[in-house]
A and B are shown apart, each in its own frame.
Chain A
């Protein structure tokens, strides 16, 4: 809240202001250092909550949602002959096949729109964190202004759904991951919008409740007393007699909001131990699975934007530089049950219609092409021989920016719908309906009721939420 806005709040009836309050009240006021400029024509929202399931590290599309001809491994097999290392399987939709290992997701494909033609940006020599930055902000660094994460834009524009729940929660990503820590931090931020709209980070969903509880070593009663005494101490300060309203109230208000969150029943949403063992176990494939469970609970409680990531750590998880087949198998085992359960649970609770789930990754993968077929970039894989001798050679080890898959479920999207096509022969390029990040973002924003040309003012210039305000929602995807 800027000082000017603070003054406006002062003018409001104090008690009525206090009544509504909590964690997101500042966000709910929809104010901040930067003001919206254009894009005021608000489209009607088809979703109130967004859950982004982030397949960090580059999910191989031909091993998941865009299977091609399957060639089993055998020593002596030529690398270039392998398009998919898994068999395709049937789904609940006749014309959609996905990869073996995603049997549960296959059963909910009738609720999903599948986009097979996401084309990542051409950023040259590939760096995961740079592509992730691009996906999450719509802009590729370096930039002359600190771009906000899409979650921060949504938090800034819409505020929280429930005032006691943070608007933007980010689940599963540790910030200290070694050498790429700085580049990961660079986009897990609200940028110029200000920290109020930044992510509430929950690295480990199993311990999420710690994020909304007093410090572990301080018992609840002591914590409550500490705050009570703090208020008394602050009230006794000369600031209360001599200072203006900004000095008197602004900081206390923020501390008050924090305590409301920490003491609010809404904080229970973070506590996975309140789930039945049966449900907990259905989700619990590990951190990602529990992250999906937490996302469901936060959706029910009133968060606005939730990202659950398989976690980006260089060379791990979806970042399969070698041994891609076995590792994709394990990744699919991690995501299959929780994603399908999340969809079913939200549906059962009547929330899927107004909750948009987006599953995406920074780019796809291929065994042979690094970059795009017509724009190859510096190769980063040196363990892909022409003829495979070891199972570790078998899998999608190169970064493929030509095509990747995106799943959109609920929140006003079509059900059982397939959009875009890629060729069945290598290089498996996009043959129709390419989707760029600005249009994907525009689609997401449109579903959330935000105009793609919405802009916030920074340094007296407009910063558009999709690149230059030019993103176009893909009308065909909407039900």
Chain B
């Protein structure tokens, strides 16, 4: 894409040097963190009185949401209140690598354009396995960057350099090496090369040659400069963005060039790397960057000293991201009451009010209601947090991005379409309907399947299951993202039921069902009872005491072409299945059920403590009771849950 004449004034760049300064805080009294010393200085300059820190409850809610991405349970809140050491809570939360990873991975997915199961019929590769491990192990940030820039080892995240590609021809400015240059510069260094991927920028100092120079580190062969789709007959050579780092020998092979790039990005002299990251994390935790916009690190910070101190402290502590989180979160600056608006010109007066992200909202709701999303794997499923599965209409409405582009700043203003989705959208409505019943113990436990084929494509999967005592069987054929599910021929092959009285063909029990021969790939053909994908057949066993159901499931070989690409999943149940839970879910949910609804007042009390980190005031209890006709009921609870989840107090991090 080209970016022609911009009618915007060039932002004034600060005369910041590339390498880090190490400013010393003026106030060195014990108990005053370095961050607060710089903030105090800022406040003195702007005649601002330091605010009182927020309450322990509000702090705990913030801390849980910022480290784990879910609200604390009433129990966790009580534990904290009985030993209200804020630094200790931060340490405890950071020490839980799994929860830390399951929250922060969305931040990195946004930056690195990584998502679950997204395909564009062009090359794209997930880096989830690597990213998850890197976060779980708290991989030092310089090594983290090296692996992304120079994925040389087995298991390294190649997907980052591959980028997002769509089938077909691609504009020169969006070829994978150019994408790699744009994204690594933007995300890691706060340099926007998008204008000058096509022509010299009109709004910054960056030239077309700079973009190609960086892209050349990631290109297999020489890149020819293309200015606005016109080839310039000139070849680019690897050249890093910052001449201050010198021009070390780069080598000729792609591997050498990537390795050279990794060294330049992570050079101790390259202060831009830690500055950019600490600024992003500051924004994530405090609502606004020290430098804004966070993708243009040439702009001036509201405190250059604080920025450089944080960056240097981060680098000096081995690029430890958890150390950075701890440093910011233990400051009084972080623990100040949230403010509504960023003043212009900006003066820091406290963190900005932040809205829960789509993932924080979905996971917090799930942790309260127990209604988690299910990820299907093999022949089982697991309750998982939102990031592990594809977005749904609710989380898309709440801002979970389509990660074609780098997302560094999710818009968090409430919109009408979001409110509509939360008010009458199927996702939340279904979850609340089920969870209100579950919390009251009224939701029937979903019946376990007797058979789950897993995803079937070319293979024939045998069925041989015990059905002793069943009076009916539910036979389901589900679609699992086939390309064209309407043309899939799938069925139950040579299926028969056996009992003391002998063997009966399935076909004889369902005389009206469609049947045909199915030829599985590399297996013998069989007579099959077929059904369209996403259909269910109820087989009445007519009171006969069958004990086994045998046969196989398969897809006809004729469907195994790319334009159909069949993917089906077969299930057998002996009771009416719960359509939300066909797979057998194994393992624990991401967070255990914290409490059950037993009485009306207890439910209101626990819901407030869990969702809002405080007990309800008497006036609130009174309104909350009005949702019920005097006694605890699923309808009333469903409506109350909705009212609490849509309240500003729940959705904002105050």
Contacts of B644 in A (CB 8 A): 233
- Establish whether residues A316 and B486, one from each chain, have CB atoms under 8 Å apart when the complex forms: yes
Which residue of B163, B173, B424, B623 is within 8 Å of A233 (Cβ)? B623
Whole-angstrom distance between the Cβ of A298 and the nearest chain B Cβ: 16
Whole-angstrom distance between the Cβ of A24 and the nearest chain B Cβ: 7
Per the 8 Å Cβ criterion, residues 144-186 of A in contact with B are 144-146, 166, 175, 178-183, 185-186
Which residue of B179, B353, B405 is within 8 Å of A247 (Cβ)? B353
Contacts of A145 in B (CB 8 A): 1, 194, 405
Contacts of B120 in A (CB 8 A): 127, 130, 141, 182-183, 186
Binding-face segment, A96-104, A192-200, A304-312 = A192-200
- Establish whether residues B420 and A258, one from each chain, have CB atoms under 8 Å apart when the complex forms: yes
- Establish whether residues A243 and B341, one from each chain, have CB atoms under 8 Å apart when the complex forms: no
Which residue of A185, A201, A461 is within 8 Å of B194 (Cβ)? A461
> Given contacts A166-B417, A460-B203, A462-B7, is CB(A122)–CB(B624) below 8 Å?
no
> Is the CB of A433 closer than 8 A to any CB of chain B?
no
Complexed CA–CA distance, A251 and B483 (Å): 40
Which residue of B119, B167, B195, B340 is within 8 Å of A182 (Cβ)? B119
- Establish whether residues A243 and B197, one from each chain, have CB atoms under 8 Å apart when the complex forms: no
Which residue of A194, A255, A462 is within 8 Å of B4 (Cβ)? A462
- Establish whether residues B165 and A142, one from each chain, have CB atoms under 8 Å apart when the complex forms: yes
- Establish whether residues A140 and B171, one from each chain, have CB atoms under 8 Å apart when the complex forms: yes
Closest chain B residue, CB of each to CB of A193: B411
- Establish whether residues A261 and B416, one from each chain, have CB atoms under 8 Å apart when the complex forms: yes
Complexed CA–CA distance, A180 and B565 (Å): 12
- Establish whether residues B643 and A38, one from each chain, have CB atoms under 8 Å apart when the complex forms: no
Per the 8 Å Cβ criterion, residues 1-59 of B in contact with A are 1-8, 11
Binding-face segment, A107-115, A212-220, A273-281 = A212-220
Complexed CA–CA distance, A393 and B192 (Å): 52
Whole-angstrom distance between the Cβ of A134 and the nearest chain B Cβ: 10
Complexed CA–CA distance, A124 and B165 (Å): 13
Contacts of B487 in A (CB 8 A): 315
| Interface 1/0 per residue, A441-476 and B, CB below 8 Å | 000000000000000010111101001110000000
Complexed CA–CA distance, A356 and B338 (Å): 48
Which residue of A182, A210, A315, A467 is within 8 Å of B563 (Cβ)? A315
> Given contacts A143-B174, A244-B341, is CB(A236)–CB(B617) below 8 Å?
yes
Number of B interface residues, CB 8 Å? 95
Complexed CA–CA distance, A226 and B647 (Å): 13
Contacts of B164 in A (CB 8 A): 141-142
Binding-face segment, B146-154, B396-404, B459-467, B580-588 = B396-404
Contacts of A467 in B (CB 8 A): 2
Whole-angstrom distance between the Cβ of B56 and the nearest chain A Cβ: 15
Per the 8 Å Cβ criterion, residues 636-650 of B in contact with A are 639, 642-644, 646-649
- Establish whether residues A246 and B340, one from each chain, have CB atoms under 8 Å apart when the complex forms: yes
Which residue of B405, B627, B646 is within 8 Å of A146 (Cβ)? B405
> Is the CB of A189 closer than 8 A to any CB of chain B?
yes
Whole-angstrom distance between the Cβ of B335 and the nearest chain A Cβ: 16
Per the 8 Å Cβ criterion, residues 283-304 of B in contact with A are 293, 295-296
> Given contacts A194-B415, A468-B2, is CB(A226)–CB(B639) below 8 Å?
yes
Whole-angstrom distance between the Cβ of A214 and the nearest chain B Cβ: 6
Contacts of A245 in B (CB 8 A): 340
Complexed CA–CA distance, A142 and B404 (Å): 7
> Is the CB of B137 closer than 8 A to any CB of chain A?
no
- Establish whether residues B481 and A251, one from each chain, have CB atoms under 8 Å apart when the complex forms: no
Per the 8 Å Cβ criterion, residues 396-431 of B in contact with A are 396-397, 399, 401-402, 404-405, 411, 413-420, 422-424, 426, 429
- Establish whether residues B484 and A146, one from each chain, have CB atoms under 8 Å apart when the complex forms: no
Number of A interface residues, CB 8 Å? 97
Per the 8 Å Cβ criterion, residues 47-83 of A in contact with B are none
> Is the CB of B345 closer than 8 A to any CB of chain A?
no
> Given contacts A243-B654, A244-B340, is CB(A262)–CB(B483) below 8 Å?
no
Per the 8 Å Cβ criterion, residues 169-203 of B in contact with A are 169-171, 173-174, 179, 182, 192, 194-195, 197, 203
> Given contacts A237-B649, A243-B340, is CB(A3)–CB(B413) below 8 Å?
yes
- Establish whether residues A259 and B423, one from each chain, have CB atoms under 8 Å apart when the complex forms: yes
- Establish whether residues A23 and B402, one from each chain, have CB atoms under 8 Å apart when the complex forms: no
Whole-angstrom distance between the Cβ of A248 and the nearest chain B Cβ: 7
> Given contacts A143-B404, A229-B643, A258-B423, is CB(A247)–CB(B654) below 8 Å?
yes
Complexed CA–CA distance, A247 and B58 (Å): 15
- Establish whether residues B424 and A179, one from each chain, have CB atoms under 8 Å apart when the complex forms: no
- Establish whether residues A262 and B423, one from each chain, have CB atoms under 8 Å apart when the complex forms: yes
> Given contacts A196-B417, A321-B563, is CB(A251)–CB(B651) below 8 Å?
yes
- Establish whether residues A222 and B415, one from each chain, have CB atoms under 8 Å apart when the complex forms: no
> Is the CB of A125 closer than 8 A to any CB of chain B?
yes
> Is the CB of B121 closer than 8 A to any CB of chain A?
yes
Closest chain B residue, CB of each to CB of A127: B167
Complexed CA–CA distance, A200 and B415 (Å): 12
- Establish whether residues B623 and A229, one from each chain, have CB atoms under 8 Å apart when the complex forms: yes
Per the 8 Å Cβ criterion, residues 569-605 of B in contact with A are none
> Is the CB of A252 closer than 8 A to any CB of chain B?
yes
- Establish whether residues B642 and A251, one from each chain, have CB atoms under 8 Å apart when the complex forms: no
Whole-angstrom distance between the Cβ of A133 and the nearest chain B Cβ: 8
- Establish whether residues B481 and A178, one from each chain, have CB atoms under 8 Å apart when the complex forms: yes
Complexed CA–CA distance, A20 and B429 (Å): 29
Closest chain B residue, CB of each to CB of A143: B1
Whole-angstrom distance between the Cβ of A340 and the nearest chain B Cβ: 29
Which residue of A126, A183, A195 is within 8 Å of B411 (Cβ)? A195
> Is the CB of A363 closer than 8 A to any CB of chain B?
no
Complexed CA–CA distance, A6 and B118 (Å): 36
Which residue of A125, A217, A244 is within 8 Å of B168 (Cβ)? A125
Complexed CA–CA distance, A76 and B254 (Å): 55
> Is the CB of B485 closer than 8 A to any CB of chain A?
yes
| Interface 1/0 per residue, B368-408 and A, CB below 8 Å | 00000000000000000000000001001101011011000
> Given contacts A38-B7, A315-B563, is CB(A144)–CB(B405) below 8 Å?
yes
Whole-angstrom distance between the Cβ of B653 and the nearest chain A Cβ: 10
Complexed CA–CA distance, A465 and B620 (Å): 49
- Establish whether residues B620 and A233, one from each chain, have CB atoms under 8 Å apart when the complex forms: yes
Whole-angstrom distance between the Cβ of A469 and the nearest chain B Cβ: 7
Complexed CA–CA distance, A7 and B342 (Å): 11
Complexed CA–CA distance, A146 and B393 (Å): 18
- Establish whether residues A124 and B169, one from each chain, have CB atoms under 8 Å apart when the complex forms: yes
Contacts of A166 in B (CB 8 A): 417
> Given contacts A226-B642, A239-B649, is CB(A258)–CB(B623) below 8 Å?
no
> Given contacts A178-B485, A200-B417, is CB(A186)–CB(B648) below 8 Å?
no
> Is the CB of A230 closer than 8 A to any CB of chain B?
yes
> Is the CB of A313 closer than 8 A to any CB of chain B?
yes
If A124-B170, A142-B179, A183-B166 are given as contacts, then 8 extra A-B residue pairs at C-beta distance below 8 Å, sorted by A number, are: A6-B413, A23-B420, A123-B168, A178-B482, A195-B418, A217-B433, A245-B340, A247-B648
A sample of 30 inter-chain contacts (CB < 8 A) reads A3-B342, A124-B168, A126-B168, A127-B121, A139-B1, A141-B120, A142-B166, A142-B179, A146-B405, A178-B482, A182-B118, A182-B402, A185-B396, A186-B120, A195-B418, A215-B424, A217-B429, A218-B429, A226-B627, A230-B642, A232-B626, A234-B648, A237-B649, A251-B646, A251-B648, A254-B418, A254-B419, A255-B646, A460-B8, A468-B4
Interface of B with A (CB < 8 Å)? Answer: 1-8, 11, 118-122, 163-171, 173-174, 179, 182, 192, 194-195, 197, 203, 293, 295-296, 338-342, 344, 353, 393, 396-397, 399, 401-402, 404-405, 411, 413-420, 422-424, 426, 429, 433, 479, 481-487, 563-565, 617, 619-620, 623-624, 626-627, 635, 639, 642-644, 646-649, 651-652, 654
Interface of A with B (CB < 8 Å)? Answer: 1-4, 6-7, 23-26, 33, 37-38, 122-127, 130, 139-146, 166, 175, 178-183, 185-186, 189, 194-196, 198, 200-201, 210-215, 217-218, 222, 225-226, 229-230, 232-234, 236-239, 243-248, 250-255, 257-259, 261-262, 313-316, 321, 377, 457, 459-462, 464, 467-469
Q: Which 10 A-B pairs have the closest CB atoms?
A: A244-B340, A124-B169, A124-B168, A258-B419, A254-B414, A196-B415, A215-B429, A246-B340, A230-B643, A254-B419
